[in-house]
Chains A and B, each alone.
Chain A
Amino acid sequence: GQSLEQPSEVTAVEGAIVQINCTYQTSGFYGLSWYQQHDGGAPTFLSYNALDGLEETGRFSSFLSRSDSYGYLLLQELQMKDSASYFCAVLNSGNTPLVFGKGTRLSVIA
């Protein structure tokens, strides 16, 4: 079987840095994606890591450690608009769909 674990809720202060962790157990592994979903909206793609290390895209970065079956999403200089749910998703092969975690609800407070 397979499983993904991420915290259900995280709260952080505007301007701060927050890290959302994701651990996974899968029979095969190609890579880890991250998606953002605002309340009432559709999920939107943020990043994908296939190799170990840190990928940076503006204020957002994503990290992967294949040996630890672990990844995280790092959000810097938090803004109120970053309040949303964040989902990690595992890609097990090129011909299977993503498997999504249950999501982490991030609340940014003043």
Chain B
Amino acid sequence: DADVTQTPRNRITKTGKRIMLECSQTKGHDRMYWYRQDPGLGLQLIYYSFDVKDINKGEISDGYSVSRQAQAKFSLSLESAIPNQTALYFCATSDSQVETQYFGPGTRLLVL
């Protein structure tokens, strides 16, 4: 079984809808991250959490929110989806060695 899982793997939604992307991990890591990837723009950090009670904004948090329900679960929500949020979203985890991150398989989101 994969150490970091994301659901759904693909999602099509309409402008204005609220959606949630979920991430679960079995690695026992305290630190979790949400990234967005657009072609040619690399990985942009949306939010990160260094433990269950810790939530921090990344470089592109506007329009997104997160919830850290447990050590193993970190969810990303788009409160009112818009077309320019169409992208590939990755969840990642790490222990205190932040330089080594383990990524989930990604969720491909299309907002119409």
Collect the chain B residues with CB atoms within 8 Å of residue A103's CB.
40, 42
Question: With A42-B104, A43-B90, A43-B103 given, is the CB distance from A94 to B43 under 8 Å?
Answer: no
* Category for how many chain B residues contact A: 20 to 34
Query: Is residue B20 within 8 Å, beta carbon to beta carbon, of the partner chain?
Result: no
Contact string, A32-47, partner B, CB cutoff 8 A, digits 1/0? Answer: 0101000001111100
The chain B residue sitting closest to A103, CB to CB, is B42
How many A-B residue pairs have C-beta atoms within 8 angstroms? Tell me. Answer: 54
Question: With A95-B50, A97-B33, A97-B48 given, is the CB distance from A45 to B101 under 8 Å?
Answer: yes
A101 to B40, CA, bound (A): 10
B103 A42 Cβ-Cβ under 8 A: yes
The chain B residue sitting closest to A96, CB to CB, is B98
Question: With A87-B43, A100-B42, A103-B42 given, is the CB distance from A42 to B99 under 8 Å?
Answer: no
A87 to B92, CA, bound (A): 15
Query: Is residue A48 within 8 Å, beta carbon to beta carbon, of the partner chain?
Result: yes
Q: How far is the CB of A10 from chain B (nearest CB, A)?
A: 15
Q: Which residues of B contact A (CB under 8 A)?
A: 33, 35, 40-45, 48, 50, 58, 90, 92, 96, 98-106
Q: Which residues of A contact B (CB under 8 A)?
A: 8, 30-31, 33, 35, 41-45, 48, 50, 87, 89, 91, 94-103
A-B contact pairs, 24 of them (CB 8 A): A33-B99, A41-B105, A42-B90, A43-B43, A43-B90, A43-B101, A45-B101, A45-B102, A48-B99, A48-B100, A87-B42, A91-B98, A91-B99, A97-B58, A98-B99, A100-B35, A100-B42, A100-B43, A100-B44, A100-B45, A102-B41, A102-B42, A103-B40, A103-B42
